[in-house]
């Protein structure tokens, strides 16, 4: 708790990041509740289940501003569609107007649209995904031709005559 209090004093816009559990699998609920009660801005992170969202939401009720970072990309990595989970998390968190849901750990540009359709407040986006923004609305026929041209150039550079 001491580190969180110290970090929160760095600046007015600092949000202290707390993992939903520690490495001993112990939930951080009590810590989050205590820090929230002390008025710290918090970002509870590394959530992957609705049960975690439902457990942590009430703990953030007294925070002046809080974020719940659900790692939707990691959920998708397991073969589970994160969109219904994220949409339900948004619905649940509406009862806490100070809490915003973060779509964390995106894997592709499409996740920006997924986050928006689920009603997420925020999405974390890597530079690799940001570089793909110009592709939005791109003509797929032209994109196909560009892909074929790329394959052609790769073959030519490898010494093949096509």
pLDDT in tens, 110-142: 999 999 999 999 999 999 999 999 999 999 999
Same domain, 127 and 151: no
Same domain, 69 and 112: yes
Same domain, 45 and 125: yes
Q: What is the domain extent for residue 160? A: 138-162
**Of 129, 128, 131, 58, which Cα lies nearest the Cα of 96?**
58
Q: pLDDT band for position 1 (50/70/90)?
A: confident
Same domain, 81 and 107: yes
Q: How far apart are CA 32 and CA 36, in angstroms?
A: 6
pLDDT in tens, 52-99: 999 999 999 999 999 999 999 999 999 999 999 999 999 999 999 999
Same domain, 64 and 124: yes
Same domain, 124 and 158: no
Same domain, 71 and 148: no
Same domain, 94 and 159: no
Q: For the chain, what percent of residues have pLDDT higher than 90?
A: 94
Same domain, 82 and 149: no
Report the domain count for the chain: 2
Same domain, 150 and 123: no
The reported pLDDT for the residue numbered 118 is 97
Q: How far apart are CA 157 and CA 106, in angstroms?
A: 33
- Look at residue 149 and tell me whether its pLDDT is greater than 80: yes
Q: pLDDT band for position 161 (50/70/90)?
A: confident
Q: How far apart are CA 90 and CA 149, in angstroms?
A: 43
CB of 66 closer than 8 Å to CB of 36: yes
Q: What is the mean pLDDT of the chain?
A: 96
Instruction: State the angle between helix axes of 82-93 and 110-118 in degrees (0 to 180), rounded to the nearest 10.
Output: 40
CATH classification at residue 112: 3.20.20.70
């Amino acid at each position: 708790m001491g580190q969180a209090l110290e970090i929160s004093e760095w600046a007015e816009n600092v949000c202290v990041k707390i993992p939903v559990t520690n490495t001993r699998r112990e939930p951080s609920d009590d810590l989050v509740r205590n820090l929230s009660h002390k008025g710290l801005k918090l970002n509870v992170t590394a959530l992957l289940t609705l049960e975690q969202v439902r457990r942590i939401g009430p703990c953030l009720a007294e925070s002046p501003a809080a974020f719940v970072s659900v790692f939707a990309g990691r959920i998708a990595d397991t073969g589970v569609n994160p969109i219904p989970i994220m949409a339900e998390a948004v619905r649940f968190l509406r009862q806490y107007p100070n809490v915003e849901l973060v779509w964390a750990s995106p894997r592709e540009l499409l996740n920006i649209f997924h986050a928006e359709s689920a009603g997420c407040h925020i999405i974390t986006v890597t530079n690799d995904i940001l570089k793909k923004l110009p592709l939005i609305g791109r003509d797929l026929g032209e994109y196909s031709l560009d892909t074929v041209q790329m394959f052609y150039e790769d073959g030519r550079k490898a010494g093949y005559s096509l």
